[in-house]
Chains A and B, each alone.
Chain A
Amino acid sequence: MKNLFVTRAAAAMVAAALPLAAGAADKPESLKIGMTAFLTGPASVFGVPARDAAEILIENINAAGGINGVPVDISFIDEGAGAEALTSEYRRMVESGGAEVMLAAISSGNCQTLAPLAEDLQVPNLMWDCGTQRIFEENDYKYVFRTQANATPEMLATVLYLLKTKPDFKTIAVVNQDYAWGRDSWDIFITALKAMKPDVEVVAEFFPKFGSPDFSTEISRLQAMQPDVILSTSWGGDLDTFVQQASQRGLMNTSTFVLPLAESSLERLGSALPDGHIIGARGDHYFLHPERRNDEDFKAFMTQYEEKTGDVSVYPVFHASQAIAALKAAYEKAIADNSVDWPSEDQLLAALEGLTFQGLGRPVTLREDHQGVEDQLMGTSVQTGEYPFATMQNIMIFDGDELTTPVGQNSIEWVGALDAGFVESVTVDTFEN
């Protein structure tokens, strides 16, 4: 620590003495970055695909000569080991591991923990997957950026798609996981829905415990009530179990399911997910993205990924691609803007402000509050027979600018002030499939 301080102090004095040379850094042998992801535990359904994708993307960057000739070296930290282990590993990777940029995290709780730590450690941190809208609404950060949307546009897109495709429904029930995401996402969803459709009736609210192996009783009760729409923002094994059990017992024939995270379960659900249910993807993430599927870079990556993992890509793969695209774009912009070989940290942070970059989806822009503005893709399930699982039809991509809470406002207050006119006025592109 003392050495570091001396070095920094010396660097500061040199920089003060030589203002012209301020900023530029020596070109390192490699650009070390760290990424946190769930490699164990239930959320490894997201973490493992994201890690596999990140490895492919970094290999591709390095094969093309790295960033301005510097190869990228990525290490991973397991979020499944608990918050304590995560923070100490994160700190170690930055302080003695020499990581210049960190990508963290999947869990919203971990993002809430690591954002202040990144500020303390003065390390640029790209929040690559976590969904909580609170991060930039409740705090200002200098070093923390989010390279994708947050829960608000994700839930708003779900409400808008539901109101556009099924405007006449009367009753709704919810079955969400009993933890922060399940509760918060329902809060945003129902606030937005009631604002745009005040006559909707909530007939049941279930919050079964996280990791619940059995939804039989909830399903019996839902069958007795027959709500028009059933929302579930669950994911992973919970979502698979719920959909399988609902499908086995015919509940999916009588109610329309709205499943904002089902894109990540499509392949595992196979034939259990019938036609006509609403699917979201936490952004414009879909291995058959209607605007991107014929692009060479997209096709090449999808082939690489399927060869490596044997699975089709799911949204965390897209989120990883966005964070890595942002990283590369920020370094290249900082290098070009300052005409240096390698940017200083300040130059990198300056480049990240307002940066536009493109991963596997549409381009994303970082706003002044460091929140990414990402478009949202929604669709309806259909079993075409082309794949052994459901794909999407009647796809809509919503414009992220209109769905993201304006800078400085609170999401719940903002969505609560919307009205029915918003459904018609919102910009949307529609695709057959």
Chain B
Amino acid sequence: MNFSIFLLALFDGVAYAALVFIVALGLTLIFGVMRILNVAHGSLYAIGAYTTVSLVGYFLALGFAPAFAFPLMIVSAILVGIVIGAPLEYFLLRRIYQKSEVLQLLVTFAVFMILEDVQRLVWGTQPYFNSSALQVLGNVTVFGVTYTAYQLILLPLIAVVLLLGMRFFLRHTIIGKLITATTEDREAAQSIGIDADRVFLFTFVIGAVLAGLGGALASPTTSILPGMGADMIVLSFAVVATAGLGQIEGAALTALMIGLGRSFAVYLYPEISVLVPYLIMVLVLLVRPEGLFGSPAARKI
């Protein structure tokens, strides 16, 4: 393997890791704060993608410029958070925080199944594809290999901004500190006057927006079709579990490891590329059962 091939594999890995990280970030945030493993996260991802494709298709048909796709991605992500995420927390999850983990898993899994069928009802079964946003940014050529600027530059950039932004938000803003306090000890936080219900609702909506944003950002690069949410949730779980549940920096590092592992596998030994994320997960959990960044006491599942 010469140096240029090494760099190519690096670029592919980083681009892939960026997308995985954005979805896993929402999942790990929700778990970190609410101690609930949200299987329906995968549906929110898929619905974010579907909504973006529909909105972009609609507005482009009205004659808007293709660059208008970018604000529409943000709109779709926020719609997912508010229209689906908020009612989900308010009407359903709020009732089961005190219940056993098995029940919580089953409830979010049920929501996942329901939302899968809702997608089929609304968008049908035919694949959608709309890459307007990606085409606006054009291509970049490195060592004779053409990349899209969208995947090579924009996605990693957004991932880094989200990582730094989330760190800043949790550590240096009032709301962030309220969330951290509630995460540490819910009862103590309530006793000093923090409205834990509102903190949970807010966190869940942010997590759902991140899932929707992952889908929105993925939409110009891939076919939007039934089942895409299931694939993403499995991979995100692998990332979150390897990182240590609730660990944001850990999720970034793990997403990067999985992205790079997968892309180097495609260059060196393509047959195992599918296995790589899970191999990494097994190896890490063998050595550190609580995850890369996890602490044993904080683990619930």
A contact set with B: CB distance below 8 Å: 39-42, 44-45, 48, 178, 204-209, 211, 213-214, 216-218, 220-221, 223-224, 236-238, 240-241, 244-245, 248-251, 268-269, 272
In B116-151, the 8 Å CB interface with A consists of 120, 125-127, 129, 131, 134-135, 139, 143-148, 151
A159 to B215 CA separation, bound complex (whole angstroms):
38
Q: Answer whether residue B8 sits at the interface, using C-beta atoms and an 8 A cutoff.
A: yes
Which residues on B sit within 8 Å (CB–CB) of A236? Answer: 127, 225
CB distance from B277 to the nearest CB of A (A): 11
A248 to B16 CA separation, bound complex (whole angstroms):
16
Q: Are B223 and A213 in contact (CB under 8 A)?
A: yes
Cβ 8 A contact of A217, one of B135, B143, B266? B266
Main secondary structure of the interface of A (DSSP, over half): helix
Question: Contacts A205-B270, A220-B12, A244-B223 known; A237 to B127 CB distance under 8 Å?
Answer: yes
Q: Answer whether residue B231 sits at the interface, using C-beta atoms and an 8 A cutoff.
A: yes
Task: Give a binary string over B1-25; 1 marks a CB under 8 Å from any A CB, 0 the rest.
Answer: 0001100110111011000000000
CB distance from B86 to the nearest CB of A (A): 27
Q: Are A213 and B228 in contact (CB under 8 A)?
A: yes
Q: Are B129 and A244 in contact (CB under 8 A)?
A: yes
Question: Contacts A45-B127, A213-B223, A217-B262 known; A248 to B134 CB distance under 8 Å?
Answer: yes
Question: Contacts A41-B227, A248-B135 known; A224 to B5 CB distance under 8 Å?
Answer: yes
Question: Contacts A40-B120, A207-B271, A214-B16 known; A249 to B147 CB distance under 8 Å?
Answer: yes
Which residues on B sit within 8 Å (CB–CB) of A204? Answer: 270
Cβ 8 A contact of A42, one of B139, B144, B225? B225
Q: Answer whether residue B97 sits at the interface, using C-beta atoms and an 8 A cutoff.
A: no
Q: Are A42 and B147 in contact (CB under 8 A)?
A: no
Which residues on A sit within 8 Å (CB–CB) of B16? Answer: 214, 216-217
Q: Answer whether residue B58 sits at the interface, using C-beta atoms and an 8 A cutoff.
A: no
Q: Are B270 and A207 in contact (CB under 8 A)?
A: yes
Q: Are A224 and B143 in contact (CB under 8 A)?
A: yes
Q: Are A44 and B125 in contact (CB under 8 A)?
A: yes
CB distance from A230 to the nearest CB of B (A): 14
Q: Are B139 and A249 in contact (CB under 8 A)?
A: yes
A275 to B191 CA separation, bound complex (whole angstroms):
69
CB distance from A207 to the nearest CB of B (A): 7
Chain A, Cβ-Cβ closest to B147? A249
CB distance from B4 to the nearest CB of A (A): 8
- Cβ contacts A to B, 19 pairs, < 8 Å: A42-B225, A204-B270, A206-B270, A213-B232, A216-B12, A216-B15, A216-B151, A216-B221, A217-B13, A223-B145, A224-B144, A236-B225, A244-B131, A245-B222, A248-B135, A248-B148, A249-B147, A250-B146, A268-B127
CB distance from A343 to the nearest CB of B (A): 37
In B181-197, the 8 Å CB interface with A consists of none
A208 to B275 CA separation, bound complex (whole angstroms):
11
Q: How many A-B residue pairs have CB under 8 A?
A: 110
CB distance from B226 to the nearest CB of A (A): 7
Q: Answer whether residue B218 sits at the interface, using C-beta atoms and an 8 A cutoff.
A: yes
Which residues on B sit within 8 Å (CB–CB) of A237? Answer: 127, 223, 225
Cβ 8 A contact of B131, one of A40, A205, A217, A248? A248
Which residues on B sit within 8 Å (CB–CB) of A178? Answer: 274
Which residues on B sit within 8 Å (CB–CB) of A223? Answer: 144-146
CB distance from A286 to the nearest CB of B (A): 20
A218 to B16 CA separation, bound complex (whole angstroms):
12
CB distance from B148 to the nearest CB of A (A): 6
A218 to B270 CA separation, bound complex (whole angstroms):
9
Chain A, Cβ-Cβ closest to B140? A249
Task: Give a binary string over B49-84; 1 marks a CB under 8 Å from any A CB, 0 the rest.
Answer: 000000000000000000000000000000000000
Chain A, Cβ-Cβ closest to B222? A213
CB distance from A267 to the nearest CB of B (A): 10
CB distance from B22 to the nearest CB of A (A): 14
Lowest 10 A-B CB distances belong to which pairs? A237-B223, A44-B125, A237-B127, A217-B12, A217-B266, A237-B225, A213-B222, A223-B145, A241-B223, A217-B263
Chain A, Cβ-Cβ closest to B4? A224
Interface size class of B (residues with CB under 8 A): 35 or more
Cβ 8 A contact of A213, one of B134, B147, B148, B218? B218
CB distance from B249 to the nearest CB of A (A): 24
Q: Are B145 and A220 in contact (CB under 8 A)?
A: yes
Q: Answer whether residue B273 sits at the interface, using C-beta atoms and an 8 A cutoff.
A: yes
A51 to B148 CA separation, bound complex (whole angstroms):
39
A244 to B147 CA separation, bound complex (whole angstroms):
13
Which residues on A sit within 8 Å (CB–CB) of B4? Answer: 224
In B81-100, the 8 Å CB interface with A consists of none
What would 19 more interface pairs be, CB under 8 Å, given A42-B225, A221-B8? A42-B227, A44-B125, A178-B274, A208-B274, A213-B221, A214-B16, A214-B221, A216-B221, A217-B12, A217-B13, A217-B267, A218-B266, A220-B9, A224-B4, A241-B129, A248-B148, A250-B139, A250-B146, A272-B131
A73 to B131 CA separation, bound complex (whole angstroms):
43
Which residues on B sit within 8 Å (CB–CB) of A40? Answer: 120, 125, 226
CB distance from B179 to the nearest CB of A (A): 31
CB distance from B19 to the nearest CB of A (A): 8
A42 to B125 CA separation, bound complex (whole angstroms):
7
Which residues on A sit within 8 Å (CB–CB) of B135? Answer: 248
A41 to B147 CA separation, bound complex (whole angstroms):
31
Chain A, Cβ-Cβ closest to B270? A206
Q: Are A249 and B127 in contact (CB under 8 A)?
A: no
Q: Are B148 and A45 in contact (CB under 8 A)?
A: no
Question: Contacts A213-B228, A213-B231, A241-B222 known; A268 to B126 CB distance under 8 Å?
Answer: yes
Which residues on A sit within 8 Å (CB–CB) of B144? Answer: 223-224
Q: Are A45 and B126 in contact (CB under 8 A)?
A: yes
A164 to B24 CA separation, bound complex (whole angstroms):
49
Question: Contacts A216-B12, A224-B8, A248-B134 known; A45 to B222 CB distance under 8 Å?
Answer: no
Which residues on A sit within 8 Å (CB–CB) of B270? Answer: 204-207, 218
Cβ 8 A contact of A249, one of B126, B146, B225? B146
Which residues on B sit within 8 Å (CB–CB) of A249? Answer: 139, 146-148
Q: Are B271 and A245 in contact (CB under 8 A)?
A: no
Cβ 8 A contact of A240, one of B127, B227, B266, B271? B127
A390 to B132 CA separation, bound complex (whole angstroms):
19
Chain B, Cβ-Cβ closest to A213? B222
Which residues on A sit within 8 Å (CB–CB) of B11? Answer: 220
Q: Are B266 and A206 in contact (CB under 8 A)?
A: yes
